[in-house]
A and B are shown apart, each in its own frame.
Chain A
Amino acid sequence: MTIIEQPKEYKVIGTRPIRHDGLDKVIGKAQYGADLKLPGMIWGALTRSPYAHARIKRIDTSKAEQAPGVMAVITGADMPVAEAIEIETGEEVTNLAHASDKLMARDKVVYKGHPVAAVAAADQNAAIEAARLIEVEYEVLQPVLTVDEAMASGAPLVHEDYAGKDLGEETRNTNVADHFRHETGDTAAGFAQAAVVVEREFELTMVHQGYIEPHNATALWKSDGKIEIWTSTQGAFGVRSSVAPILRVPETDIRVTPLEIGGGFGGKIPIYLEPVCAVLSKKAGRPVKVVMDRKSVFEATGPTPGGRIRVKMGANDKGDITAAEVDLYYEAGAYPGSPVGAGAMCALACYRVANARVDGYDILVNKPKTAAYRAPGATQAAYAVESVVDEICQALGMDPLDFRLHNATREGDRRADGPVYPRIGNLEQLQALKDSEHYRTPLEREGADGRLRGRGVANGFWFNGGMQSCVTINVNSDGEVGLVEGSVDIGGTRASIAMQAAEVLGLRAEEVHPVVVDTDSVGYTDMTGGSRTTNATGYAAYLAAQNVIAGMKERAAILWESNADDVEFEDGVFSSKHDSELKVTFKELAAKLTETGGPLAASGSIRQRGSGGGFGSHLVDVEIDPETGKVDVIRYTAAQDVGKAIHPSYVEGQIQGGATQGIGWALNEEYFWSDQGVMENSTFLDYRMPTALDLPMIDAIIVEVPNPTHPFGVRGVGETPIVAPVGAVANAIHDAVGVRLTQAPMKPQRVLAAIKEKNGNGA
């Protein structure tokens, strides 16, 4: 672990206590959505479209209604009509009419797996069997399956009635939902100064977050009109604010309880099942639970887009980037809203580029509506940009990390889309990778049995959000505290938030008892996502703890018949500024709450700014079988500026997890489409995520350049590490076998074909 700046000595922060939720999760006692059982609960199942694009002519539910055990059947006609307005839901903006239509089709199905009806029955099998009895007559339409098809003139329209935007102007009869541009300087002039100009086009296919836990929801629409929802989500408040307008009920009438979550990575920010369960429950008068199967998760939740990316970049012979142009064509899926906006902001974020133009296109296709996936939109762009940077380094004969350091953005630089960087750690983390043992050790170029090795690097950026959080701390009479939060625990956030409170309160991490509660039991808290939780909810916990200390000082003052201003707190002990005899520990004082005024609880709430950004560069060695095209990752090191690592193990875990997902994306993960828009590999057998045997140990180098807007310097961690891997792996493959793969995934068949083409014997 490399510590760049270490301003303070901490007692709890920076240590590695066992996480509060660890034991339950390890022994299988944690309560996930699928575990939930309620009195009178019944099961729902959905009928889904077999076509990617079709008009619904007729739905006949009569057979399903008569099937054994069936208590409710609904179609799009039973769903309230939502208003076409946009709301903020964490990392995305959601148009409610689209969100509602996505849950349950009305006139038209626009992706394979689009729900058309739902059934609730006494048990899960009865519900599934009944859902099969729903008869739907479709008029099958030509599906739009790629960004090129979607933009071709005369292409079928995914939605005939949607308006698009082209550089701010409204457009009609188009699948391009949005086209925008960021521009700075004069790229023509910049390219004129260049000694080297590289222009390449890249293609990617849709990939899924691949969380292990399928989506699930249970809803009870009560007789008093209130709705209770239990679900696996990254943000209970986001569920509440999406469900309320879709069902046209006031937010206050909905209570959402988040259960443990088995992975989300952005894909569990949007809602899929909750309103459907609620409408079924209203009809059946019982709690209704739906758990998706894996196929539905792949076909009908929110993957991250494929698409096409063009990058042109120039550099002079001193190694300065003189100009760059990036065109990003991203699949939105069946409704507007791909992460191309973020992709465009991230594309050149690692580099000082005086002359830049970035165009983004958000393109409708008959595929599932994309959702956030860990640094949404950034990995695709980085794959393209980092590949081109690699080529420029080779053309200039420059070390790839020297080039990146030379051009690295730093405090005061302006990003191509406008913002000026505050203090960031881009240089420091690049330098840490350059200084790593891995980088300093030359690669042995030949592996066993004729396998060839190569090394690649890439850099990556993600914003790291702030947003809103609220925490309440309750002081117990034994001197320990309960910490009430609205942040669903992903990746150890109970621990990382509790530790920040513990640091302030002078307690051990284990003496703070975090609990994640429903939307009625804590103040508004945004979703766990955007790499914001340890930063913003941690900050709220810090503030709540400060308020606890202030309250405790008043109690000490009551005991000592003095003034709270006269009380100091250090190392868990309250003492009088005037009388050195007067001391009371936090624990002793907690036991005296009753006599000093009653219970003590305090809250902290924050609307936190972003962190200025997290940068992370990755270094990978690969070994390739030139006869089969198989790529093995044999060594991997990732450096990242995390601001401050509250719990270093979980920071390392995030960096390793991000790298792992990126490696999967680089090598094998893909939606494999039929020409009718059916995903053919909707199982974990044929959707190939890496297994433990596919990965080396991933070394994480933690760099700490504190975020000045957070009391402990936290910057956020989770998303940045997925940005660099695809580009790094592409660069390593090029280094090993001399072929530049401009299509992801870089699966064996593609690698082998490229090797054969290079050797002039393309089969």
Chain B
Amino acid sequence: MHPFQYLAPTSVAEAVDALARYGDRARALAGGTDILVQTRTGRFDLDAVVDVKRVPELTALTLGEDGLSIGAAVPCYRVYEDAEVAGLYPGLIDAASLIGGIQIQSRASLGGNLCNASPSADGICPLIVHYGQAHSAGPDGRRSTPVEEFCVAPGRTILEPGEFLVSIELPRPPAGFGGAYQRFIPRNEMDIAVVGVGSSLTLNAAGDRVESARVALAAVGPTPILAHAAGDSLVGKTPGIDAFREAGELAADAARPISDMRGDVNFRKELVRVLTRRTLTTALERAQS
């Protein structure tokens, strides 16, 4: 590790300037729980680190009529400690409260989780099943991208040099909505997902039909995967174990896992089946309560 600049801009424009000046030799710093570790182990060779926490928009957490806006540097604990947010976005809370431990959650942001673009990230699938949009700013101005299109490869996102994530917006869930996230880890904490599955569904007014559903998968492909067929298969169906099992099969078909030290292809596909069924079951319970 060699010496690098530490910059702490206080506005979006300044942050864009700072990042643009160093191009791919600069990275944004939110909670630092990924970037500090990665820089020390030589994954990045940086000339500048741009701390985005002094930009007010990045630490704002606002719940309005339309939905929730999470500043890209808001630490996880602020998300799950907000009772109203927790009630509306249960899938997100599952993830925010299991990333690392309390110390990590006091620093780590969902924005950092998304920009780190790890295939096994716990925060991204819940954002997808809550229909999240990523708002970014760069030298060419601002743009908005569905979260499921944000990651393009392990560690890589759509962000261009000089561009950074400002906030993530989640629409206000309709009545009859439920979401859940679960991951499989060999231990009970401080671990990385062998497989993660986020699911959500919205029931009709009578509560006996699924109107829309999403299933998103972590750690079974180069990026988090929105398993369209799995979610779509539920639409119009009576929610329950049979429909969830079928969705699990379709999710397993959508999974493109590799065999590595954390699990082989068969094991991961099987976990996708099991976790899809389990998260949909929890999402249903939440939709009904």
Contact = CB atoms under 8 A, between A and B. Distances in A.
A693 B186 CA distance: 12
B191 interface: yes
Contacts of A685: 190-192
B1 A752 contact: no
A690 B186 contact: no
A208 interface: no
A686 B262 contact: yes
Contact of A688 (B186, B263, B267): B186
B43 interface: no
B188 A691 contact: yes
A763 interface: yes
Contacts of B192: 685-686
B271 A693 contact: no
A657 interface: no
Given A685-B191, A763-B270, A630 B1 contact: no
B266 A688 contact: no
Interface residues of A, number: 26
Nearest to A671: B261
Given A129-B2, A628-B271, A688 B261 contact: no
B66 interface: no
Contact of A690 (B184, B187, B262, B267): B187
A668 B186 contact: yes
Contacts of A628: 184, 271, 274
A748 B186 CA distance: 7
B186 A667 contact: yes
Interface string A622-650: 00000111101000000000000000000
A693 B274 contact: no
A686 B263 contact: no
Contacts of B1: 125, 128-129
Give the one of A630, A749, A763 with max B CB within 10 A.
Answer: A749
Contact of B188 (A694, A749, A752): A694
Contacts of B261: 672, 680-681, 686
B2 A125 contact: yes
B189 interface: yes
B260 interface: yes
Contacts of B253: none
A129 B45 CA distance: 12
Interface in B1-16: 1-2
A749 B271 CA distance: 10
A758 to B, nearest CB: 15
Contacts of A668: 186-187
B274 A691 contact: no
B184 A630 contact: yes
A451 interface: no
A747 interface: yes
Interface of B: 1-2, 184, 186-192, 194, 260-264, 266-267, 269-271, 274
- Nearest 5 CB-CB pairs, A to B? A672-B261, A693-B188, A749-B267, A693-B189, A627-B274
17 contacts: A125-B1, A125-B2, A628-B271, A632-B188, A667-B186, A668-B186, A672-B261, A680-B261, A686-B262, A691-B189, A693-B187, A748-B194, A749-B263, A749-B267, A753-B267, A763-B266, A763-B269
Given A680-B260, A747-B186, 17 more contacts: A125-B1, A125-B2, A627-B274, A628-B184, A632-B188, A672-B261, A685-B191, A685-B192, A688-B186, A688-B191, A690-B187, A691-B187, A691-B188, A691-B190, A693-B188, A748-B186, A763-B270
